[in-house]
Amino acid sequence: MTARITLRRPDDWHLHLRDGAMLEGVLPETARHFGRAIVMPNLVPPVVTGDDARAYRDRIMACLPSGMDFTPLMTLYLTEATDPHDLARAHAEGVVTAVKLYPAGATTNSQSGVRDITRVQPVLEKMAEIGLPLCIHGEVTTPEVDIFDREQVFLDTVLDPLRRAIPALRVTLEHITTSQGIDYVAGASGDIAGTITTHHLMINRNHILVGGIRPHYYCLPVAKRSTHQQALRKAAISGNPRFFLGTDSAPHTDDAKQSACGCAGVFSATNTLSCLAHVFEAEGALDRLEGFTSLFGPARYGLPVADQTITLEKRDTPVPYPARIITGAGPVTLFDPGHPLYWHVIA
Ligand code: NCD
Ligand code: ZN
Q: Which amino acid is at 123?
A: V
Residue to probe by mutation, ligand 1, list 220, 224, 249, most atoms within 8 Å of CB: 220
Residue to probe by mutation, ligand 1, list 154, 248, 263, most atoms within 8 Å of CB: 248
Please identify every stretch of the chain with a pLDDT value under 50, giving residue numbers as ranges. none
Distance 2 CA to ligand 2 centre (A): 35
Between CA 235 and CA 258 the distance in angstroms is 32
What is the predicted pLDDT for the residue at 154? 98
Please tell me which residue in 11, 12, 52, 248 is annotated as part of the active site. Answer: 248
Going by their DSSP bridges, the two strands 330-333 and 324-327 should be labelled as antiparallel
Between CA 236 and CA 299 the distance in angstroms is 16
Q: Where are the beta strands (DSSP E) in the chain?
A: 3-8, 11-15, 36-39, 71-77, 96-101, 134-136, 171-173, 192-196, 243-245, 309-314, 324-327, 330-333, 343-345
Kindly list the domain boundaries of the chain, sorted by start residue: 3-345
What is the predicted pLDDT for the residue at 123? 97
Q: What is the pLDDT of residues 313-347, one digit of tens each?
A: 999 999 999 999 999 999 999 999 999 999 999 99
State the DSSP string of 75-100: EEE--TT--HHHHHHHHHTT-EEEEE
**What CA–CA distances, in Å, run from 332 to 65, 134, 261?**
19, 29, 17
Phi, psi of 117, rounded to the nearest 5 degrees = -60, -25
Decide: 121 and 134 in contact? Cβ < 8 Å. Answer: no
- Asked if CATH classification 1.10.540.10 holds for the domain at 3-345, the reply, yes or no, is no
Mean pLDDT of the chain: 97
What is the predicted pLDDT for the residue at 18? 98
Query: Ligand 1 pocket, 11 CB below 6 A?
Result: no
Say which ligand is closest to the CA of 267: 1
What is the predicted pLDDT for the residue at 339? 98
Q: Which atom of ligand 1 is nearest to the CA of 109?
A: 4
What is the predicted pLDDT for the residue at 1? 55
